[in-house]
Amino acid sequence: MADKSLGLYIHIPFCLQKCLYCDFCSYPAVAEEMRSAYVAALCREIREAAPILTDYLVDTMFFGGGTPSLLSAEEYLHISKAVFENYRVVPSLEFTSEANPATLDDEKLTAMREAGINRLSIGMQSANAGELSALGRVHRNEDVFTSVEMARRAGFDNINLDLMFGIPEQTKETFATSLEAALSMSPEHLSVYSLQIEEGTPFYERRTFLSLPSEEEESEMAELLYRTAERSGYRRYEISNFARDGMECRHNLRYWRMQDYRGFGVSAHSLIGDHRFFNGGGLSTYIHDPLGIAEEEELLSPAMREYEALMLALRTADGVEDAAFTAEFGHGFAEKYGKRIAPFLSRGLMVLQNGRYALTKAGMSVSNGILREILDEM
């Protein structure tokens, strides 16, 4: 049997301070001892999960957070060693770490390279000082430029910049400036998210007082983004992701293609075959026993797998390929969903190209609405 491919996700739930919009699992300003204890637990989970994953060849890895770049040089090395010693890894591995621009220096970047990391995802968010402070970010705009410069020097030839729009007080002009600033650094990849006010965040608490851009302004920003990115040679390959040819994030594509991934660390999610699960519990529970806390396990039924596959594939520019869909689910996409998608095809929200059904630009902006119409009841 041919080797199956696997992505590994490693969650680093620490940050300098929690951003006001963040609803990810992250603990601000944690003591160093706690962090080393966590890294030890992480390495243990990585090691002990290995025996049942021997069929797999790891071809992507991703340090996410939180702020993974808070890890010391030694900790980076320690964790990646745990992976390389216990898993089979392809030579063409894509290995990403997220990074906060305020936490990078030459030494750490060099250590990251030594640890095998070859892709850096930098949380720039905005080039506007007022907006950065409104978001509760700890970094300054200059830090981004310095970070990218240092990263290039350290040998990173695959850099992503994260940007946001729909920030309180943001205007089309300030967004345009941020976008230009990002492009001036010639990143290989851009992720641009529209701000979502999530429950349980400080932004949610004061949502009625935030002066957010109007829907109209926000859609103008989106238009500007799509135009500018395309003109600058970036292809929008997912709702919020843009890349130069061949520089798409392979790790993230696994999520949208429902390819296997194993998440390590507190709150990390995994999909192995039809088995979806995640590490629940808090930080101390995890440190105490990194193996015993899988929560909300779910065995995907064929119907559920189909539901998720569509929900995720329609986020991407590649969309759903009818032939592959038939091969996997035993019935054609058009055969089953033809009637439901007809109005979207005729109104330009969806398009059929080379046997693939995908949402158009207009369709992507309202993808929830389209999915509500298309997907089966669950």
Partner 1 sequence: MTERQKHIRNFSIIAHIDHGKSTLADRILELTRTVGAHEMEEQILDNMDLEKERGITIKARAVRLFYPAKNGEEYTFNLIDTPGHVDFNYEVSRSLKACDGALLVVDATQGVEAQTLANAYLAIDSDLEIIPVINKIDLPSADIERVRGEIEDVIGIPAEDCPAVSAKTGQNIVDIMEKVITDIPAPEGDEDKPLRALIFDSYYDSYLGVVVCVRVMDGSLRAGQRIRLMSNGAEFDVVEVGAMDAFGLRATECLLPGDVGYLTASIKNVSETRVGDTVTTAADGASEALPGFREARPMVFAGIYPADGARYGDLRDALEKLQLNDAALSFEPETSVALGFGFRCGFLGLLHMEIIEERLEREFNLDLITTAPSVIYKIHKRGGELAWIENPSNYPAQDEIEVAEEPVVRASLITPTEYIGGLMELCQERRGEYHDMKYLDAGRAELHYTLPLNEIIYDFFDALKSRSKGYASLDYELDGYRPSKLVKLDFLLNGDPVDALSFIVHEEKAYGRARRIAEKLKENIPRQLFEIPIQAAIGSKIIARETVKAMRKDVLAKCYGGDITRKKKLLEKQKEGKKKMRRLGSVEVTPEAFMAVLKLNDE
Binding site for partner 1 (CB under 8 A): 9, 24, 64, 193-196, 215-216, 218-219, 222, 239-240, 252, 255-256, 261, 263, 267-271, 276, 278, 296, 298, 307-308, 311-312, 315, 343-344, 347, 349, 364-373, 375, 377-378
Identify which of residues 73 and 311 has a Cβ nearer to partner 1 in the complex. Answer: 311
Looking at residue 120, the DSSP 8-state letter turns out to be E
Judge whether 116 and 95 are in contact, CB under 8 Å.
yes
Q: Quick one: 176 or 375, whose CB is closer to partner 1?
A: 375
Q: How far is the CB of 194 from partner 1 (least distance, A)?
A: 5
Please answer whether residues 352 and 281 qualify as being in contact, where contact means their C-beta atoms are separated by less than 8 angstroms: no
Rounded to a whole number of angstroms, the minimum distance from the CB of residue 371 to partner 1 is 6
* CB neighbourhood size of 211 (10 A): 9
Report in angstroms how near the CB of residue 73 gets to partner 1 at its nearest. 27
CA distance 29 to 14: 7
- CA–CA dist 120, 189 (Å, integer): 10
Phi (first) and psi of residue 191, to 5 degrees: -115, 125
When the beta carbons of 73 and 312 are compared against partner 1, the nearer one is 312
**Whole-angstrom distance, CA of residue 364 vs CA of residue 348:** 11
CB-count burial class (<10 Å; 0-12, 13-18, 19+) for 182: buried
Cβ proximity to partner 1, 189 vs 276, nearer residue: 276
Q: Do residues 141 and 132 touch, judged by C-beta distance below 8 A?
A: yes
Nearest to 377 by CA among 308, 307, 300: 307
**Sequence-ordered strand ranges (E) for 135-230:** 159-165, 189-194
Measured from the CB of residue 104, what is the shortest distance to partner 1 in angstroms? 23
What is the smallest separation between the CB atom of 14 and partner 1, expressed in angstroms? 16
In the complex, the smallest distance separating the C-beta of residue 72 from partner 1, rounded to whole angstroms, is 25
Q: Which of 143, 279 has the CB closer to partner 1?
A: 279
- Kindly tell me which of 171 and 194 has the beta carbon lying closer to partner 1: 194
Q: How far is the CB of 198 from partner 1 (least distance, A)?
A: 10
CB of 134 to partner 1, least distance (A): 18
The closest of 241, 224, 96, 220 to 163, measured between CA atoms, is 241
- The residue among 291 and 366 lying less far from partner 1, judged by its C-beta, is 366
Sign of CA dihedral 220, 223, 228, 231: negative
Identify which of residues 111 and 268 has a Cβ nearer to partner 1 in the complex: 268
Kind plus residue range of the DSSP H or E element containing 278: strand 275-279
